[in-house]
Structure 1
Amino acid sequence: MKLVVQVKLLPTPVQAAALEATLRACNEAATWVGKVAFEKDVKKNFALRKLTYGEVKARWGLGAQAAQHVIKKTCDAYRTLASNLKAGNLGKPGSKRYRRASETPIAFRPEGAQPYDDRMLSWQVDQRRVSIWTVTGRVKDIAFTASPEQLACLALHRQGASDLIARDGMWFVMAACEIPEAELTTDPSDFLGVDLGIVNIATTSDGEIMAGRRLNRIRARERHLRQKLQKKNTPSAKRRLKKRRRQEARRARDINHKIAKHVVAEAQRTGRGIALEDLTGIRERVRLRKPQRATHSSWSFHQLGAFIGHKARRAGVPVVYVDPANTSRTCAECGHVDKANRVSQAWFACRSCGFVDHADRNGSRNIRARARALWRSGAESTAPAPPPGTLGGTGRKRRVTASGARCANPSPSDG
C-alpha cells in the first residue's frame, strides 16, 4: 500500500531562489502545453509529447526528464478534468461552471507542485540531505527535517516519484513509499461501531465520544469570523480568509487523523473489526433547514472514512460499511423503529420497551449489529477488497444485498 511522507526542506536563500525559478518555469511550460493540448485536442501523453517536447526544452531550458514530467502532468490534469465533468463534480452540462471548465484550456499556478523521479532527485537520508535538479543546475546538500518514523519510512520503503511543493513560503517534498500491509484478521471477535454526526463527529459503540461540543464551539467561532471577513470583502480580508481556510483545513485533517488512529488502535487491541456508515451521496439525499446546511457540509466525513480505512489496512483490521437508514430511529435493544424514538438531538428513548440511551451511542450499536449480520452473511466467501479510491486500494468491490450495504475488507495480500 502507498503512503506519502511529507518532508520539509530547509533551503538557503540561494537554494530557495533556484527552487522557485524551477517551479515557475515548469508551470509556465505546463500552461503552454495545456493550451496546445486544448487547441489541437490532443490529450494523450505520447501524441502530445511529439507536439511540445522540443519547444518545452528549448524555450524554458528544462531537462529531458523535467520536460516529460511537465507533459505528463498536463495530460493527467486533463484526465482528472474529464473524470470530474463526467461525475458531475463541476455542475451540470451547460451550466456556467461546467462551461468555464470545459471550454478553456487548463492553466497551472506559478508555484504548483512539480513531480520528480530518481534521476532528478536523490536522497541522503542518514545525512538529512537531498539533491534536486533545477533550471540553474543540480542543487546539492539541501537540508531537510523529518521525524524518526518518517526517516525510517524513507530509508526502508521509499519507492516511486516525489513532488516538490511550495506552500506559504515553505518548501516540501512529498515522497511516495510502498508500505507492506498487515495480514487481514479474517475472524474478528466483534465490531466497533462508529456513528458519524454533526454535533459529535464520531461516537463508538463503546460509548466514547470524539470531537464533540468543544470542537463545535471552535467551528462556530470560525464560521462567524469567516462571515465577517466575507462581508468586509477588502483585499486584506481576502488574504486573511485564504489563510484561515488553510488553517481550518489543517485542523480538520489533524482531528480526522487522530480519530482514525484511535478507532483503529482500539479495534486492533480488542481483536475487532470496524463498522462504518456508507454515507455516499448523503448531501444529495438529506434535506436540511438553512441554519443546518453550513454545519452539515463543513466537515469532511469522507476524509475521515478514508483515513480509517487506510489505517485499518495497515493494521490488518477489517472494515464493513453498512446502510445508515434508520440507525438513529431504531432501538438497539428491541429493534423497534419509530421516528418518535429520537426525543432530542442528544437522547434516544424507545416507545416500545422504554430503553433510554445517548442517541449517538444507540446509533453506533445499531451500526455494529448490522456489521455483524453482514460479516456472517459474507464469511463463507473470500473477503472482498476495498472500493477503488476510497481506501487507497485497487482491488475488487463486492456488493452485499442485506440492508443494501457494502462490505469493504482488504485482502491479505494504499494508501
Structure 2
Amino acid sequence: MKLVVQVKLLPTPEQAAAMEATLRACNRAANHVSWVAYESGTRDRNGLQKLVYADIKAVFGLSAQPAVRVVKKVVDAYSALAASLRAGRLGDPSSKRYRKATGSPVGFGPEAAQPFDDRCLSWQTDARTVSIWTVNRRMRGIRYTGSPDQLKTLAEYRRGESDLVRRGGKWFLIATCEVPDPEVYEPTDWLGVDRGIVNLATTSDGTNYQGRGLTRYRRWQARKRAELQAKQTRSATRRLTRRSKKEQRHATHVNHRISKEIVSIVQRTGRGIAVEELDGIRERVRLRRDQRGTLSSWPFHQLGQHLAYKARQAGVPFLEVDPAYTSQRCPRCGHIERANRPTRDHFSCRRCGLAGPAGHVAGVNVRNRARSAWVFVTTPVPAPT
C-alpha cells in the first residue's frame, strides 16, 4: 500500500531563500506551460514538452530535470481536472463551476507544491538531511525532522517523487512510501460503525465519538473569519491567511484520533470493521439553507478513508455495506419504518418495542450486514460441471 510521509525541513536562512526562489520559478514556469497547454489543446506529456522545454530552460532558469517535472506537474493537473469533470464533481457543462474550471488555464500559486524526483532531491536518512536542486545551486545538508514512526517508514519504504511544500512560513517534504500489505486475518466478528454529523462515529459496542466539540470549533472559526473579513484591513487579511486551513487540520486530527482508536480495538479483539457506503450522500439529500454548511463540512468521507487505510495497514478486514434503512430497521425483529426513529437520537421499534440510541442501533445493523456480506464474499463459487 502507498503511504504519504511528511517531514519538516529545518533550513538555514540561505537554504530557505534558495528554496523559495526555486518554488516561485517553478510555478511561474508551470503557469506558462499551462497557458500553452490551454491555448494549443495539447495535454500529452511528450507533445507539451516539445512545445515548452526550450522556453522553460531559457526564460525561467530551470535545468533539464526540473523542467521535465514542471511539465509533468501541469499534465497531471489537467488530468485531475478532466477526471473531476467526467465524475460530475463540478456540475454539468452549463453550471458556473464547470464554466469557470474550463474557461481559463489551470493556475498555480507562487508557492504551490513542486515535485522532485531522485535526480533533483536525494535523501540521507542516516544523517537526516536532504540535498536538493535550487535555481542558485544544489543545497546540501538540509536537516529534517519528524516522528519516529514516520522516519522509520521513510528510511525503509520511500519510493518515487517527493513534494516540496511551504505552508505557514515552514518548509515540508512529502514523500511517497510503498509499504507491503500485511496478511488480512479471518475476523471472529465485526464492529459496525455508524457515521453521523452530531456523533461523528457510533460503534455497535455502544461507544460514541461525539462531534459537538468539532461543531463548536467550526462555529467559533466561522465567527472569527466573519469578524476579520468585516474589517477589510491589511492586518486582517494577513491574519486570515495565517488562519487558513487551521480548521481543516483540526478536523483531520480528530478523524485520525477516532480511526486509530477504533482500529486498535478491533485488532485487539480479532474483529473486522464495517461502515456504511455513503458515497454521493450530499447529492441525494435536500436540505434547508441553514443546514447546507453543516453538511458540506461533515468530514465523514475522510473518517472512512482513515479507517480504511489504517485497517489495511494493520491487516484488519474492512467492509462497506449498503446503508439503506440502517437507522430505521429494528435489529431484533427486522421491522422497517420511519416512525421507528421518532427523534434524531432515539430509536423505538413500533412492532417489538426495542429502544435505544439511534446511532448504536444503526451500528448494530451495519455489523449484521457485514456478517452476511463476509459469508458471501468468502464462500467459494462452485466450478461449472
Alignment correspondent of 1:205: 204
SS in 2 for 1:321: strand
Which residue in the other structure is 2:96 paired with? Answer: 96
Question: What is the letter of the counterpart of residue 346 of structure 2?
Answer: W
Distance in 2 between residues matched to 1:201 and 1:242, nearest whole Å = 28
Contact 1:158/1:178, CA 8 A, preserved across alignment: yes
Q: Distance in 2 between matches of 1:94 and 1:235?
A: 37
- Tell me if 1:40 matches 2:40: yes
Name the structure 2 match of 1:269: 268
Partner amino acid, structure 1, of 2:85: L
Deviation digits for residues 296-320 of structure 1, max 9, x if unmatched?
A: 2212211111111111111111111
Match of 2:9 in 1: 9
Shift of 1:342: 1.1
SS for the counterpart of 1:201 is: strand
**What displacement does 1:271 show?**
1.0
Whether 1:79 aligns to 2:79 is: yes
8 Å contact 1:22–1:134 — kept in the other structure? yes
| CA positional deviation for 1:242 | 4.2
SS at match of 1:49: helix
1:1-58 C-alpha deviation (Å, 9 max, x unpaired)? 1111101001111111100010011111111111111111111001111111111111
Q: How far is 1:326 from its partner?
A: 1.2
For 1:172 and 1:211, how far apart are their aligned partners in 2? 32
Which runs of 5 or more structure 2 residues have no equivalent in the other structure?
Answer: none
Distance in 2 (alpha carbons) for counterparts of 1:290 and 1:255 = 26
Matches within 5 A, 1:17-36: 17-36=17-36
Note closer, same or farther for the CA distance 1:265–1:217 as it changes in structure 2 (3 Å cut). same
- Residue 363 of structure 2 corresponds to 364
Counterpart residue identity of residue 29, structure 1: A
**What amino acid maps onto 2:35 in structure 1?**
K
Write the distance in 2 (CA, Å) between the matches of 1:132 and 1:334: 64
CA contact (8 A) 2:214 2:251 kept: no
**Closer, same or farther: CA 220–107 of 1 in aligned 2, 3 Å:** closer
Partner of 1:244: 243
Which residue is 1:143 aligned to? 143
Task: Note the alpha carbon deviations across 1:218-271, whole angstroms, 9 max, x for none.
Answer: 333333434444555555545444443411000011111111111111111111
State the SS of the aligned residue for 1:165: strand
Q: Distance in 2 between matches of 1:380 and 1:231?
A: 62
Partner of 2:192: 193
The CA RMSD measured in Å over matched residues stands at 1.7
Aligned partner of 1:259: which letter? Answer: I
Greater Cα offset, 358-367 or 348-357: 348-357
Deviates more, 1:70-79 or 1:315-324: 315-324
One-letter code of the match for 1:215?
L
Is the contact between residue 252 and residue 299 of structure 1 (CA under 8 Å) also seen in structure 2?
A: no
The residue aligned with 1:293 is: 292
In structure 1, runs of 5+ residues without a counterpart are 383-415
Deviates more, 1:233-242 or 1:218-227: 233-242
Q: Percent identity among equivalent residues?
A: 55
1:107, CA displacement in angstroms? 1.9
C-alpha distance in structure 2 between counterparts of 1:126 and 1:211, whole Å: 42
298-307 or 220-229, which moves further after superposition?
Answer: 220-229
CA distance in 2, matches of 1:214, 1:110: 35
- In structure 2, what is the Cα distance between the partners aligned to 1:217 and 1:103? 38
What do residues 311-341 of structure 1 show as CA deviations (whole Å, max 9, x unaligned)? 1111111111111121111112222112111
Whole-angstrom CA distance in 2 between matches of 1:234 and 1:98 = 32
Q: 1:212 to 1:61 in 2, by over 3 A?
A: closer
Q: Which AA in structure 2 matches 1:352? A: R
Partner of 1:179: 179
Stretches of 4+ aligned residues off by more than 6 angstroms: none
Give the distance between the partners of 2:142 and 2:112, measured in 1 at CA: 20
